[in-house]
Amino acid sequence: MTKWLVTCAWPTSSDIPHLGNMVGSALSADVFARYLRLAGEEVVYVSGSDHHGTPLEVEALKKGVSPKELADSNHARISEVFKKWLISFDNYTTTESEVHKRFVREHYMRIYSHPGNIFTRAEKIHYCPFDKRFLPDRFVEGTCRFCGFGNARGDQCDNCGRPLDAEDLVEPHCVICGRRTELRETTQWFFDLPRFRDYVAAYLDRSNLSPNVISFSKAWLREGLRPRSITRDSKWGIPAPFPGAEGKTIYVWMEDVLGYVSALIEFFERSGNPDGWREFWFGKDAKTSFFIGKDNIPFHSILLPALLHASGEPYNEPSLISSTEFLTFSGQKFSKSRRIGIWCDEALSLMPADYWRYVLIALRPEGSDIDLSWASIEQIVNNELNDAFGNLVNRTLTSVKRFCGGVFAVDSSTLRPEEAEYLKEINARHLDIGTLYSEAEIKSACRKILEQATSANRYLSSTQPWSVYKTDKASGDSILYAALNAVKLISIELLPIIPGAAQEFLRQAGFFRRSKPSWSDTGLDADLPLQVGEVSPVFYKVDGSKLEETLESLRAEASAGTRA
């Protein structure tokens, strides 16, 4: 049995995640975690809300509340959304947790204790004399030196697309108060990432990471690594522990990734086994996995291993980094400000969580960006979830009621050769699906489960148990045995993706009455005699354009409520 730490990118608590945020991180990790548990591995799945960072601080300022208050209330909403989406976190915490803050400070002091890992350097940063604070480039606006665009941000000009430096803005002003900013010198603490170039290069070579992660990371190494600043002149965050760094906090990216350790520590402290986490991060039979969007590969493939290694502690290197491309919505990027896309809370007012989970996994953008549209939602729910899976289960269970009086008790010893052959086929596919899951090839696993359903539907149509039963009960039973076994396999296979609905399949069929579902418990004999009780359709069809209308009216109500 392997100990698996499963993690996903930490959602920022400045807003509820949208479907694009959900697909590659929390949902993908959840499917992976659920599969591993089903397969009998020891799994701890952790993540948390990223509370720190300037966007949240600025939003809190605008709303007139403290960053802590805003973060906490958003965290409560985000946690609720994850629960409703059936995300099976073992610990969903925040970067404000005492364990996290303590761990991050201790970890940096450990890195600091090895001379040369951390050094200081003076930098020129925008400063707002009115707000009395330093501002990240993103929070300074001005006129672009290159194209003259008036609303260019300090990090990039939205008009000409050029990346900018602080000095490239003409008449820079603070986005909070609008007043003129000035450049001030300030000292920051830096992590000497280039020191770990050889280590990271060797790690990438011996690792088993996916080709896109490797090639992306190696490109970074070729360009040359740069020191990463650890500290920021901001009050909102974790106080930097270095001597002389009083008043500074740790930059979010330099603490977020350490949450993969601290959230696990917190989990084990709560369960009364404070050292349990060590086996997961240091143990020989332990693996770690990270589910992220393509935008933050290097933080996981380069920065994280370097930060862990630099502490001198015997951390395992990240074993699996699964990154997805982006989801677009009806051809456009998800946009909070323009309200393009669907957010995870409002999604649940349109369809049950299992529907969304299936749609997102069926589309999971693994190779390139994938577009989500109302039409694709409708098509996937209706034709795959409802027709292929739902109807297969329904027609099989209804057959048991109709032809066997609701009780199926004939065991595998009476199977005809045809059915024995068919069982070989679906069991082989079950093994393939398990392999895909274990490699986090989640979309391919999903496609293959659909093949499993297609093959079962085909089998029923070609063997026609409804006419066989008229003359030959034994052959009819043999066919139904195979069909029921396919339903059992498919239900197990779908448990990681649509846990609620797959459980309902198992319940209606009467599988796993006496034991917990398990990936390898594929035979039917142990479940006999099956008592098929009330059978009812598990899914219903949806109308894409009606869903769209519903969402629009929901939003209209919500904004009317805000104004009132």
Partner RNA sequence: AGCGGGGUAGGGGAGCCUGGUUACCCCGCAGGGCUCAUAACCCUGAGGUCGGUGGUUCAAAUCCACCCCCCGCUACCA
Q: What are phi and psi of 290, to 5 degrees?
A: -135, 125
Q: How far is the CB of 91 from RNA (least distance, A)?
A: 18
Residues 25, 54, 210, 508: which binds RNA (CB under 7 A)? 54
Residues 16, 26, 33, 370: which binds RNA (CB under 7 A)? 370
* Among candidate residues 136, 144, 147, 146, the one with its CA nearest the CA of residue 174: 136
Question: In angstroms, what is the C-alpha Rg of the chain?
Answer: 27
Reduced to 3 states, what is the DSSP secondary structure of residue 46?
strand
Q: Could you say whether residue 64 binds RNA (CB under 7 A)?
A: no
Q: Could you say whether residue 552 binds RNA (CB under 7 A)?
A: no
Residues 125, 169, 265, 353: which binds RNA (CB under 7 A)? 125
Q: Are 336 and 134 in contact (CB under 8 A)?
A: no
Instruction: Pick between residue 368 and residue 471 the one whose CB is nearest to RNA.
Output: 368
Considering only 28-36, 107-115, 153-161, 484-492, which stretch makes contact with RNA by CB under 7 A? 153-161
Size of the site for RNA (CB under 7 A): 87
Q: Could you say whether residue 120 binds RNA (CB under 7 A)?
A: no
Reduced to 3 states, what is the DSSP secondary structure of residue 271?
coil
Q: Could you say whether residue 419 binds RNA (CB under 7 A)?
A: no
* Among candidate residues 409, 454, 326, the one with its CA nearest the CA of residue 23: 326
* Among candidate residues 317, 189, 198, 210, the one with its CA nearest the CA of residue 255: 189
Q: Could you say whether residue 10 binds RNA (CB under 7 A)?
A: yes
Considering only 26-34, 215-223, 489-497, 547-555, which stretch makes contact with RNA by CB under 7 A? 215-223
Residues 30, 90, 168, 366: which binds RNA (CB under 7 A)? 366
**Residue 327 to residue 322: CA distance in whole angstroms:** 15
Considering only 50-58, 85-93, 174-182, 522-530, which stretch makes contact with RNA by CB under 7 A? 50-58
Considering only 60-68, 130-138, 353-361, 551-559, which stretch makes contact with RNA by CB under 7 A? 130-138
Q: Could you say whether residue 161 binds RNA (CB under 7 A)?
A: yes
Q: Could you say whether residue 432 binds RNA (CB under 7 A)?
A: no
**Residue 453 to residue 490: CA distance in whole angstroms:** 7
At 376, list the tokens.
Answer: 């694709």
Residues 208, 368, 413, 562: which binds RNA (CB under 7 A)? 368
Instruction: Pick between residue 12 and residue 262 the one whose CB is nearest to RNA.
Output: 12
Q: Could you say whether residue 154 binds RNA (CB under 7 A)?
A: yes
Place of tokens 């895909």: 436
Instruction: Pick between residue 110 and residue 162 the one whose CB is nearest to RNA.
Output: 162
Q: Could you say whether residue 138 binds RNA (CB under 7 A)?
A: yes
Q: Could you say whether residue 223 binds RNA (CB under 7 A)?
A: yes
Residues 15, 41, 55, 201: which binds RNA (CB under 7 A)? 55
| Distance set, CA 175 to CA 19, 125, 169, 364 (Å) | 28, 15, 13, 36
Instruction: Pick between residue 262 and residue 399 the one whose CB is nearest to RNA.
Output: 399
- By CB under 7 A, the residues from 439 to 468 that bind RNA are 444, 447, 450-451, 454, 457-458, 460-462, 464, 466-467
Q: Could you say whether residue 471 binds RNA (CB under 7 A)?
A: no
Contacts of 385 (CB under 8 A, 6+ apart): 355, 358, 498, 501, 539
**How does DSSP assign 386-406, residue by residue?**
IIIIIHHHHHHHHHHHHHHTT
Q: Could you say whether residue 235 binds RNA (CB under 7 A)?
A: no
Q: How far is the CB of 402 from RNA (least distance, A)?
A: 6
Instruction: Pick between residue 251 and residue 437 the one whose CB is nearest to RNA.
Output: 251
Instruction: Pick between residue 268 and residue 539 the one whose CB is nearest to RNA.
Output: 539
The 288-307 site mask, x for binding RNA (CB under 7 A), equals: ------xxx-x---------
Instruction: Pick between residue 216 and residue 315 the one whose CB is nearest to RNA.
Output: 216
**Residue 224 to residue 135: CA distance in whole angstroms:** 27
Q: Could you say whether residue 155 binds RNA (CB under 7 A)?
A: yes
Element (H, E) at 143: strand 140-144
Considering only 175-183, 249-257, 432-440, 513-521, which stretch makes contact with RNA by CB under 7 A? 249-257
Please state whether beta strands 169-174 and 140-144 pair in parallel, antiparallel, or not at all (unpaired): antiparallel
**Residue 465 to residue 484: CA distance in whole angstroms:** 12
**Residue 345 to residue 77: CA distance in whole angstroms:** 9
Q: Could you say whether residue 402 binds RNA (CB under 7 A)?
A: yes
Q: How far is the CB of 211 from RNA (least distance, A)?
A: 7
**Residue 95 to residue 541: CA distance in whole angstroms:** 41
| Distance set, CA 205 to CA 209, 214, 331, 348, 516 (Å) | 9, 8, 37, 43, 40
**Residue 255 to residue 106: CA distance in whole angstroms:** 11
Q: Could you say whether residue 398 binds RNA (CB under 7 A)?
A: yes
Sign of CA dihedral 376, 538, 521, 271: positive
Residues 30, 90, 325, 354: which binds RNA (CB under 7 A)? 325
- By CB under 7 A, the residues from 68 to 107 that bind RNA are none
Q: Could you say whether residue 47 binds RNA (CB under 7 A)?
A: no
Considering only 98-106, 199-207, 263-271, 358-366, which stretch makes contact with RNA by CB under 7 A? 358-366
**How does DSSP assign 498-514, residue by residue?**
SHHHHHHHHHHHTTTSS
Instruction: Pick between residue 8 and residue 410 the one whose CB is nearest to RNA.
Output: 8
| Distance set, CA 131 to CA 51, 136, 173 (Å) | 21, 13, 12
Q: Could you say whether residue 545 binds RNA (CB under 7 A)?
A: no
The 501-540 site mask, x for binding RNA (CB under 7 A), equals: ------------------------------------xxxx
